[in-house]
Amino acid sequence: MKNPDWWRGAVIYQVYPRSFYDSNGDGIGDLPGVTAKLDYIASLNVDAIWLSPFFTSPMKDFGYDVSDYRGVDPIFGTIEDFDELIAEAHKRDLKIMIDQVLSHSSDQHRWFAESRASRDNPKADWYVWADPQADGTPPNNWLSVFGGSAWAWDSRRKQYYLHNFLTSQPDLNFHCPDVVEQVLSDVKFWLDRGVDGFRLDAINFCFHDPQLRDNPPSNAVAEGSIGVRKENPYAYQFHKYDKTRPENLAFLQRLRALLDQYPGTTTVGEIGDDNSLQTMAEYTSGGDKLHMAYSFDLLTEQHGADFFQKTVDSIEKKLTDGWPCWAIGNHDVSRVATRWQARTPQQLKAYMAMLLTLRGSVCIYQGEELGLTEAELEYKDLVDPYGINFWPEYKGRDGCRTPMVWDNKEANGGFSNARPWLPVYDDHYNAAVAVQHGQDNSILQAYRTFLGWRAQQPVLLKGDIDFLDSPENTLVYTRTYEGTTLLVALNLTDNPVRITAPAAGQSVSGTPDFVGGSWHDNELELQPWGVEIATL
């Protein structure tokens, strides 16, 4: 391993396999499809691929309900297909990170089948079971992220079981030592197959309060919360007892100790919490837990220079020795082009430049590099249970999961010869890879060029960050490392602006054409949605 800390400053490309490329004509993307498109991913100049779940699953939540943690679901291929993907990715100097859903399993998992059979079988305590209250109601007031009570009645055991998500996703009981040993064993299985790291789904949900105390009410949605107050009562509670419990820290230390046996491997944790920034700091501090973490702070509809600076400043102050991972899009939120109301390619390029010049690592969601907008689907096309439950106020996550568009002249955008599992959105055809490839001013080419340049800038991979005072709706900050200082200036408005810099700057070379401003001594003029990166 030439660089065991490769993950610091790395750019990770998230692939949602169902929607990436269908190699066998069944309308569903698969692992051989990912392998077939590795050259495309490598052309983006990213460092790693994060694969959303491909494990054996009844697909009630599209793979985030695992029924065999060591199996590949047949719709995605075979374990041999996965091994080939690893080998081919490594030939291209691409790391492979896989999603691990540790806090809960599918109700179709053999563990749950045994656990629910009786109260005294060997796996009776592998899940969170509790007696009803005297009146038959659930044990406490905990709520599911997907709506309603987090408790479901099981007639076999005549008890309730905990499910923080769908009723078909029962929570594992991490207070049971055997569960912890099994989970670590399953992680080791994939490490032995050569994976380079893990994206840890809902990692702060592993432990619950064993006393099952009620959550207190919340009067406001805190930063990084995954609740949507106006239509989802989940945000009405302060989630003090159902997640982010102190016992989780010791488990993360054991998980890190396992990964440390495999030099060059890494973890990035998903933190959905009422106090996400503080949790990120706790989970990444000390070098003995998560390598890095991200929250939902930049995955909401909130945007703008003030919000971005406040969020980054808050994380920087709390993380201390921890390491952030930034994302402005993924498979759980609407496309950033729609969510942040980006009307022009230049706006998307400005947001890209911001994302790729912050301190930390970066996750980019497939199609983000094409500037894809949120797909508008009809109710009859929905498959996401989250959206079906809250329609029409919330349309779910299908709009960001529609198939990748490879060729505007082929049926289904070149994704599949068969009818896809979700329809290809008509507005996406003009943004297809084949349309943007080779176009100097395309969003795709901007990503390729910027990422290639960024990879050669140690100051962006490892440097400190400091924000400077600047006009309203602009962002100005420096990145400093080993005597080199870069100034990053972003005009997030529709009007030209003048910015006073600490000193006269010299525009750097190697960036795309959209980067650059006009310097007059230490005065910088930026065009609408303009970007400048300069040495000071």
Q: What is the CA radius of gyration of the chain?
A: 23
The residues, ordered by sequence, that sit 6+ positions from 259 with a Cβ below 8 Å of its Cβ are: 191, 197, 265, 266, 267
Catalytic residues: 201, 270
- The enclosing H or E element of 271 equals strand 266-271
Who contacts 508 (Cβ-Cβ below 8 Å, separation ≥6)? 486, 533, 534, 535
Is there a contact between 353 and 490 (Cβ–Cβ < 8 Å)?
Answer: yes
Instruction: Report whether 361 contacts 292 (CB < 8 A).
Output: yes
Q: Tell me how many degrees the CA angle 13-388-233 measures, rounded to the nearest 5.
A: 90
Q: Are 416 and 25 in contact, with CB atoms under 8 Å apart?
A: yes
| Dist. CA 146–CA 140, nearest whole Å | 17
Backbone angles phi, psi at 235, to 5 degrees: -80, 0
Q: Is the dihedral of CA 236, 242, 246, 249 positive or negative?
A: negative
Burial class (CB in 10 A: 0-12, 13-18, 19+), 118: exposed
Kindly give the pairing relationship between strand 159-162 and strand 151-154.
antiparallel
Give the C-alpha separation, 245 to 192, whole Å: 30
Backbone angles phi, psi at 75, to 5 degrees: -65, -20
Neighbours of 44 (CB within 10 A): 17
Handedness of CA 256, 9, 282, 98 (dihedral sign): negative
- Burial zone of 465 (CB within 10 Å; 0-12 exposed, 13-18 middle, 19+ buried): middle
